[in-house]
Every structure is written in C-alpha cells, then in structure tokens.
Chain A
C-alpha cells in the first residue's frame, strides 16, 4: 500500500435471499478524502454503509477500518468509526447534552474528557445554544446536526454519513456541507447522497453504484472532464448551408434547433469553436452565440446508471 488508506473494502458482497444487493464492491478511501457515494434508490448505498459500520454482516468480502479488520475485531475497528444513518439515531426524550454525553460514554471517551468532547462537537455543529433543549422539540435541521455531532464526538478517523442533508433548508445545507469539508481535512468521510450538486460541492472523489455494482469511481476533476460534452451551440443571423459548416475541421454533424440556433457535434479532442468563429467573421454569417455545451452531472449520472454496460470511454 503506497498510501495509508483509512477505509479499504475488498470484494464486498451482500445477498438478501436470492437478490444480490451489493456485488463484489472494492474501494479504498485515503486520509483527508471525502468520497461521495452516489446511486439511484435501491442501488445498494445504504446496504454498503450498514456493512461498513458493522450494522449488517457482509455475505463475502473484507472491510478494514484504519487497518483493522471490522469482522475480526469489530470493537477495535468501531472505535475509529462515526456513523450517521439515514435516520439520525436520536433518543428523543433526552436533551442534547444528555444525548451527546451518552454517545461519548458509548464511545469510551474517558469520563474526565466527556464534557469537553460534548462541548467541542456541539460547537462544530452549531448546537451551542440548544444544549438544554429536548431533542424532540428541535427542528429537523437541528436534529440532523445532533446526528452529525454524535458521529464526530469521539474524533473518529472515519466518518460515514448517509444522506446528511435530507430535509434541511438551503442555508443549513450550506453549513453542513462546509462542516463536511472541514471534516474531510483530518478524517476520511464517506457521504452517500442522491443530490448531485452536493457531490460537486463537497467531495474529492465520486463513486456511483448501480444495481449493487460500482459503475464509476473517479475524482471530481475526472467527472468534470466527463461533463465536457462534444457539442457547441452556434447562433448565426445568416446561417450558411450545412455543407460549408461540415467542411470545417472537426465538425461531424449539424443539427438545427427549434429557435434557429445550430448544434455542432464534434470530436471530443477537436473543438471547432475557433474555426467556427474565424469562418463566421470572414464570411459574414452574423455570429451572435457560440457556447460549448456541457453535460450536467445529472446527465453523466443518468448515462451511467441507465446504460446496460458502464461507459469505458475516457476512463482516466
């Protein structure tokens, strides 16, 4: 191992009866990395996360947390683990301080340090003023924060968050994302979500899981690369015939759009934008728009998860 990975998963599988919920998934996460775990509903995200945190036993495969085998030494491994499940595991009758205190004791924080640990995790999650409030009186956003506070109270190396921003308002979402980025500085974070901009905003690396299999594992930069499409939108006041456009280098096809603009499809490596602009100026086509078309992350995601076989093209 060149770099010390905090999480390493090898050939993980899980079956429920005859259905294979997770099929031979392998990946690793390095220190200081935020990994986004994407996938449509029922793709096996939550199952994988439950296995990573010891809530579910895998049918096959190995999980190592900070180098410790989760199945052989679960207690040791779980020391380095903080988990926020899809639904935050809150005791609603307790107040925030009591609840976090109990979590601290569960994670075997020495008695003398509990008060400090509670105060620190409250501060990081912006729970400063609600310490004495009962959890069931808190709003959904605050409950979610208590859930995150619970996951980081013992300063775990690995933090696993299952859809942490569900049900939050936009400002809270931004705060939580900021917090996740901060966490990524010193811990490893795995974040499952199906909100795509969230991945762009917070993650270093993305994994897409589909029907229990990993169909993509790439860095954000790689994903951005993928998002560069192979078309430009061209707006001309006096459009020439198609043949003269096709004659330009790199142009593969021309489609007319409803509003009079043209979509120029081109080879991925060869962007004809410059040639188009020069030609338009020289031949007086009346250029008023020239913009590269970008695939949104959504489209990349949909492409990957609806295709039968994963896209091989452009894999770095």
Chain B
C-alpha cells in the first residue's frame, strides 16, 4: 500500500516539468563545481607530490563536491516536496486517500518514500561524477562511502522536514518557502551562541553532523541524529494530518 502511494508520487513528480528541470539544473551546477575542483587539483598536483602525506584525490575533489551538493539540495528539496501534501489539499484530492482503506501513517510514509526514490536517483547521478575518475586513478572508497552516506542522510532529513511543512498548508508556494526557512535555520543554528550554551544549538545543527562524515568519520551519534530528525518530522506530519480530522 505504501508502495502504491510511493509509486504514484514518483510518477506525479516526473509528470511535472519541475522535476526534470531540477534534475538538470542540479546536475549542471554540480558538474560545474566538480570541474572547477578538478581544475584546481590539476594546478596543485605537482606541489602535492612533494608532500610527505599528500591528501588524496577523494579528499580534495569529492568532499568539496558533496559539501556543495548538500547546500544546493537545501535550496532545491523544498521545491520538490512542496506539493506532497499541500497540493492534495489544494486540489481537494485528499478525500480519495482518506476514504480508502489506508492509514495516515501509510499515506505519509508512501509520499516520503516516493520523494526519497526521486532523490535517490538524483544522488546516483551525482555519484557518477566521482566514479568517472576511476578511469584515471583510484578512489578512497571508505571516504567516498562516508560522504555518500552523509549526503543521503542529509537529503532524507531535508525531505522529512519539508514533508512536515507541506502538511501544514494548502499552498505549495508557502510550503516551499517555509521549508526553505526551516532548513536554512537548522543549517546555521550553530552560528549563534558559539560561546555560551552553544553545544545544544551546535548539536541541533544539520551541518555539524555532516562535517564529520565529509572527513570520512562515521559516527553513530551523527547517524542517530539524522534518524531521530527524520522520525520526528514524519511523526509530526502524521499527527498534523490526524489533527485535521479532529479539528473543531
């Protein structure tokens, strides 16, 4: 049942030109960044050879790429997720799902899964760029794996938060702006209070947990943070939909 809804969601995404345009734009920008990094690397390659422990190609090329990818997707995911629930509400198609023998949890998870599948495809396209280097040399697969996991978790967290925001409104545009605001805030929340009580805010920050993985550090605490983050927002979205049924 979840999969039927997910498949439907994925199909609706691809029916709109938005998804294709976003795929193209993200791919183009990341390719540009990748090329720029490659250029930079080629420039300093000679000097690197003189170092005792030179940083590898993965460290110099891939990590910056994944770092930029996260930021770019922060801008893009709210646009993809804005329609998830708010569009159903606007077009008044929600009764179809609500009067079918499906629970609210299944509806929300189905939609989330549909979006994740799309984002998975996007991630796969991004991954192709580092893999193209295999033709010229070898990669540090441990580091690449950590980067990939980090970005995947980050994307999943973005999607969950924007799904919740989409459940709050019946205006897709407002959902997009709201999600963007929330994600950006969670990204930079550690900027304030660096000196006093900053540790809680730093722990809350999405970015803090990403940094470790970009350096190849796999910390279960970071993974747990993302999983908690995702669960929280999905539960909130279900609760929100339920509240609508009970509203007075």
Contact = CB atoms under 8 A, between A and B. Distances in A.
Interface string B211-248: 00000000000000000000000000000000001111
B96 A103 contact: yes
A197 interface: no
Contact of A106 (B94, B102, B245): B102
A27 interface: no
Interface in A102-150: 102-103, 105-108, 150
A102 B101 contact: no
Contacts of A106: 1, 4-5, 96-97, 100-102
A89 B245 contact: no
Interface stretch (A2-10, A79-87, A239-247, A254-262): A79-87
Given A75-B102, A102-B8, A57 B95 contact: no
Contacts of B5: 106
Contacts of A150: 96
A54 B1 contact: no
A309 interface: no
Contacts of A50: 95
Interface of B: 1, 4-5, 8, 11-12, 15-16, 91-103, 245-248
A78 B16 contact: no
Contact of B99 (A78, A94, A98): A78
A7 to B, nearest CB: 14
B247 to A, nearest CB: 8
A90 interface: yes
Nearest to B243: A57
Contacts, number: 77
B248 A59 contact: yes
A89 B95 CA distance: 7
Contacts of A83: 95, 99
29 contacts: A17-B248, A53-B95, A53-B98, A54-B98, A54-B99, A54-B245, A55-B98, A57-B246, A74-B103, A75-B103, A76-B101, A85-B92, A87-B92, A89-B93, A89-B94, A90-B91, A91-B8, A92-B91, A93-B12, A93-B15, A93-B16, A94-B15, A105-B4, A106-B1, A106-B4, A106-B96, A106-B101, A108-B101, A150-B96
A94 B97 CA distance: 16
Contacts of B15: 93-94
A277 interface: no
Contact of A55 (B93, B95, B102): B95
B100 A107 contact: yes
B150 to A, nearest CB: 34
Of A15, A16, A55, A150, which is in contact with the most chain B CB atoms at under 10 Å from its CB? A55
Contact of B101 (A16, A78, A85, A94): A78
Contacts of B97: 106
A41 B246 CA distance: 22
A150 B248 CA distance: 29
A170 B102 CA distance: 36
A108 B102 CA distance: 9
Given A89-B96, A90-B93, A102-B8, A57 B101 contact: no
A15 to B, nearest CB: 6
Contacts of B98: 53-55
- For the complex of A and B, 8 pairs with smallest distance between CB atoms: A89-B96, A105-B4, A89-B93, A83-B99, A53-B99, A106-B100, A78-B101, A85-B95
Nearest to B87: A91
Nearest to B107: A106
A17 B246 CA distance: 11
A197 B245 CA distance: 33
Contacts of A16: 247-248
Interface string A50-86: 1001111101000000000000001110110111010
Nearest to A16: B248
A55 B101 contact: no
B248 A89 contact: no
B18 to A, nearest CB: 12
Contact of A108 (B1, B16, B92, B246): B1
A72 to B, nearest CB: 14
Contact of A79 (B92, B101, B246, B247): B101
A98 B8 CA distance: 9
B4 A55 contact: no
Nearest to B15: A93
Contacts of A107: 100-101
A57 B92 contact: no
Contacts of B103: 74-75
A81 B99 contact: yes
